[in-house]
Structure 1
Amino acid sequence: MHSISWLSLSWCLIPVLLISAIYYYWNGKPSEVLLSSARMALQLVAVGYVLVVLFAEPSPWITGLVLSVMICAASWIAIRPVRQHPGFLRPAFTALLLAVGFHLAIALKLVLGVETWYEPSVMIPLAGMFFSNSMNAISLAAERYRSELVEGKQEKAARLAAFHAAMIPQVNSLLAVGLVALPGMMTGQILSGVSPLIAVRYQIMIMTMALGVSGMGAALMLWQLGRIEIHTRIANSAKNQR
């Protein structure tokens, strides 16, 4: 496997500066890209050092703590498009907890057959991928759901439109994998010397779990938002009749 030095890694600034320049010339906010990229690099370096320690001394408590931080961060990021409106954080947290927990159980016990659930070298990478996919689906679903309601759509129609929008990236990924691009996990395994046929099996697991965790997360989020919307309308109707 090829090793990347820190000096060689500095060439990765080129795409960051390129996109920042586009933002600047189109009167956008290049600071958004620059700050996000800097935060990404710092977060990954910090996580790298944390994982070195975790892998050396696995602990259910530390793994549990890491998962807790991940779900809290994912919940907060997921509601970013609708953060100015109340009532989205708890549904996002619940949807992530149930969707990711369910699919982690399938992947760890049924597919991989791991004996120790808190093994950080397995649990944390999988949880990260699952949280990321579900987080994005929930974010898209919440934003689209609210937009549809604001436009005057009925709750069921808004829910369906939001679910379709949330699933577009996942369906596109399923259609494109192997034809348009090799996914990140598969590419990483091949670069590290793993047989492509073994890498394919892992990638199939990741793609199907990502589909499930995204769809389940979005559905749970929309179901909760639907109940809130219905209860709000009933309460407002009763209030107006007084």
Structure 2
Amino acid sequence: MKTISLLNLLYMLIPLLIVWYFYKRWIKNQVEIIYATIRMLSQLLLIGYVLIYIFKEKDLLLGAFIIIFMITLSTWISFRNIQNKSIYEYFQIFTAISISGIIHLIIMLYFVLELENIYEPQFVIPIAGMIFANTMNGLSLAIERFESEILKTNDFNHARQISFKTAMIPQINSFLAVGLVSLPGMMTGQILSGIDPLIAVRYQIMIMLSMLSGTGISIIVYFLLKNKSIH
């Protein structure tokens, strides 16, 4: 696989600067994109070194800690964008992300991939990251839309219907477009690294299925808990 020099990565800042300029003019915020970019760069460079250590050690307790950290951080990121800041709301989001993510992680690692060892960090960590990040995004979208709709109608069932539909649109669209409009990130990365495209396709199918069902199950769990708390 061709190595990308850090210097060559600077070329990708050119279109980003254009977006930043118009974001600053139209949104009146000149800090957000810069801050997000700096965080993205520092976090990815740091995690690259951390993963080298994690993959060598294969420490089960460390792996469990990383999974819990992913769930906690995913919950916090989802939590910060909503209006209801109660502890119970945080618990509902945490529970929804945990149940959906762990179910899919177990199915993918031990039934689909059939890993022999309990903990293989080079599989567990990247797959868990994709699962929890996608679940976080879908659930955040659903909750934000639910809060907006419930204020308008005060009808739980209607607000749930609209928010569930809204959150699933990106997932369903990605199903319809994959292979025709886009080659997803995991599949592209594997192909660039020299993996047989037919093998890469199987991995991508596994990820795509988990993205839609992972988002859906987290939303279902969240609204089951929410409905119980209201009634």
Structure 2 length normalisation: TM-score? 0.96
Match of 1:49 in 2: 49
Residues paired across the two proteins, number: 230
Equivalent residues in 2 for 1:129-208 (5 A)? 129-208=130-209
Aligned partners of 1:133 and 1:190: how far apart in 2?
22
* Structure 2 spans left out of the alignment, 5+ residues: none
Q: Which runs of 4+ in 1 moved over 4 A?
A: none
Query: SS in structure 1 opposite 2:31?
Result: helix
Equivalent position of 1:102 in the other structure: 103
Distance 1:27 1:155, change over 3 A: closer
1:58-137 equivalences in 2 (<5 Å): 58-83=58-83, 85-86=85-86, 87-137=88-138
Cα distance, 1:127–1:27 mapped onto 2, change above 3 Å:
closer
**Superposed displacement of residue 85, structure 1:** 3.4
Cα pair distance change 1:84/1:13, threshold 3 Å: farther
Q: Give the stretch that moved more between structures: 179-188 or 157-166.
A: 157-166
- 1:101-158: CA deviation from partner (whole Å, max 9, x where unpaired): 0001110011000122321100001000000111011101111111111002411111
- The residue number in structure 2 matching 1:209 is 210
TM-score by length of 1: 0.91
* Structure 1: segments with no counterpart, 5+ residues: 231-242
Asked if the contact 1:16–1:34 (Cα under 8 Å) also holds between the matched residues in 2, the reply is no
Equivalents in 1 of 2:219, 2:167: separation in Å?
Answer: 7
Q: 1:192-225 deviations in whole A, cap 9, x for unaligned?
A: 0001111001100100011111100111112212
Deviations 1:144-185 (A, max 9, x none): 111111002411111111111111110011001001010000
**Structure 1 vs Structure 2: percent identity of aligned residues?**
43
Taking the aligned partners of 1:84 and 1:103, their CA distance within structure 2 comes to: 28
The 3-state SS of whatever aligns with 2:209 is: helix
- Maintained 8 Å contact 1:145/1:162: yes
Matches of 1:31 and 1:179, distance apart in 2: 36
Larger Rg: 1
